[in-house]
Structure 1
């Protein structure tokens, strides 16, 4: 069987089996549990398989303003021996005045980075990274739809490069400050509204970082309901800027949520800017299936390869979705993206943005 047909088969079979795990209660405020399949494919890590059990619930069933909270686990293994286990949770309470998000992850990731060698041609350098990550974010509504958040992320990574390059042992202690305006009509599957977010990551030396470093992230997402509010046009602007002493593990690698279709790790730098749009089709069917089409364009700066700086990186693709948790409208699915001389298949939990 050709590799391009495997994700479709895996997604369909796992979807059929996991329908039996869905709770069908008339009480819309009762908890909900399901197990979704995980699959992705890239030219670097190969095919990845796993499972994503999810549980959604209300912290206070009498709170009619807070969205459902969610707990979940992601576990996967790839054909190049990469693996990861992630536990995550998002909690909403007190009439959505408070939001708490946490994540715990361990992984072993075999990837590559692009190296420009003068006089001997260009090549990719393989590396393996072992990481432990703990993150916690607490957000409080301050007025209207505006929130202020404080967070902390601890990451310990050991990166082993092939050849004679020295290994990198990195310990990051990240203080996160964010302000955002959440005017979406739904946090999981918005059909109208917008989300504007400014986040400042500060890595001071006094809490154990080897160097002072700062990163600024700005996102703006806009959602427009069309076709009697059944389908959605989603638009996004994103920028991530390393302001000083950007560590290898903090660098931007083109691909993933922004500019799907880049999976070989070639384009890496200190910052990027991009725009993208997505059309989300919602079909009337009992299988809870839907589809997306997307396109985007971005640029990169701060790369060690000068030719990569400020070049344009297009992205185009499409995907399928299945509503795993109906009461929260949480979708899972697969996206196939195509970039500049590259492509990839991406597992999607919720929407890309």
Structure 2
């Protein structure tokens, strides 16, 4: 299966100088794209970009949308960490639509750290079943409205160390479970929809200065969420999350990065909130949720050339990852480990902020997956 998401019109602009019509002095297309790609803001000043996107996948047909990114530093002080607000909205020829909002905001002198995401979409989900040995053939198609509101409010305790509460609200409604023609899946918990509210807390150590392109730094997080019927949740369950990342400079341009990531749940968990393997962050090449279960452990490493020695704007990356899912931690098995790897192209979209646009292709036994996003995967 090929997964193509957010294939952006800006890719064409990389090669404008090689297109004959682009050399006209008054060509308005070239001027607009060049303006979008240029970054003339002074260090510390906010930077904003908005650009159209185009994608295709078999379950959605063509997808059209806009992506925007705001980068800033508290009080316009370049000594403060770089904060980001990212928005993406889309509509497809099959009538699906959605809007995504992500935020990672650092206050002045790191006193506060707000980390969260919002999702609203009517979008099909491919369902392959639950467990480490699900078949990759003939997935079910679940069409539904999906709402996610997740936010952390973290306070600096000591330099680089944060703690604070976390809230997670997820709702799946207007669901339609379409079985494949050749066989039927047992209906999973949550297939008819429902809403769940989780409350918890997080401990975070973070000494990164630029979260979208970490050239040197360490990030460690452990968090806990409890979903309880007394809070209005349809299902009662709880989970721990572990995320450890480190980046090491290899000379003046190159970076070696690694990540260990884990989800560990217990209780009655709806299928859409199980630990999901795949996606644009880790195990690139696998569809998000290709494998799902109550527990997952994943590792990945990546080598980045930022930029190439022969270019001021173009760079690249090579990455590899491995992950395993299981109903219990004690049931992680070597034979269930899945592997993925791939390469990527980088384009320096914000030179003053050292932010790259990344196009990654990940390879798995199921086939390739393509991803285009602003900023590195981790």
- What's the TM-score once normalised by structure 1's chain length? 0.85
User: Cα deviation per residue 1:159-180 (whole Å; 9 max; x = unaligned)?
Assistant: 3202595951210112231111
| 1:12 to 2:11 alignment | yes
| 1:268 to 2:292 alignment | yes
What is the root-mean-square deviation in Å for CA atoms of aligned residues? 3.3
The size of the alignment, in residue pairs, is 343
Q: Within 5 Å, which residues of 2 pair with 1:1-353?
A: 10-14=9-13, 17-22=32-37, 24-25=39-40, 27-36=42-51, 38=53, 48-61=63-76, 63=77, 65-78=79-92, 81-115=95-129, 123-158=138-173, 159-163=175-179, 167-226=191-250, 228-256=251-279, 257-263=281-287, 265-282=289-306, 283-284=308-309, 288-302=313-327, 311-353=336-378
Distance 1:176 1:231 in 2: 37
Query: Any stretches of 5+ residues in structure 2 without a counterpart?
Result: 17-31, 131-136
Distance 1:221 1:194 in 2: 6
- Are the counterparts in 1 of residues 38 and 350 from structure 2 also a CA contact under 8 Å? no
Distance 1:151 1:144 in 2: 21
Distance 1:5 1:196 in 2: 30
- Are the counterparts in 2 of residues 299 and 310 from structure 1 also a CA contact under 8 Å? no
Distance 2:221 2:288 in 1: 29
User: Cα deviation per residue 1:103-158 (whole Å; 9 max; x = unaligned)?
Assistant: 33210121221249xxxxx7421111211222322111111321113221222212
Where 2:12 maps in the other structure, the secondary structure is: helix
Distance 1:279 1:259 in 2: 15
Over 3 Å counting, the alpha-carbon distance change for 1:247 and 1:77 in structure 2 is same
Where 1:232 maps in the other structure, the secondary structure is: strand
Distance 1:70 1:58 in 2: 9
Distance 2:239 2:374 in 1: 25
Whichever structure has more strand as a proportion of its residues is 1
Distance 1:113 1:325 in 2: 38
- What's the TM-score once normalised by structure 2's chain length? 0.79
User: Cα deviation per residue 1:159-211 (whole Å; 9 max; x = unaligned)?
Assistant: 32025959512101122311111133532211122111111122122210123
Distance 2:126 2:332 in 1: 19
Distance 2:150 2:222 in 1: 18
Over 3 Å counting, the alpha-carbon distance change for 1:8 and 1:287 in structure 2 is farther
Over 3 Å counting, the alpha-carbon distance change for 1:64 and 1:266 in structure 2 is closer
Over 3 Å counting, the alpha-carbon distance change for 1:310 and 1:138 in structure 2 is farther
Over 3 Å counting, the alpha-carbon distance change for 1:4 and 1:161 in structure 2 is closer
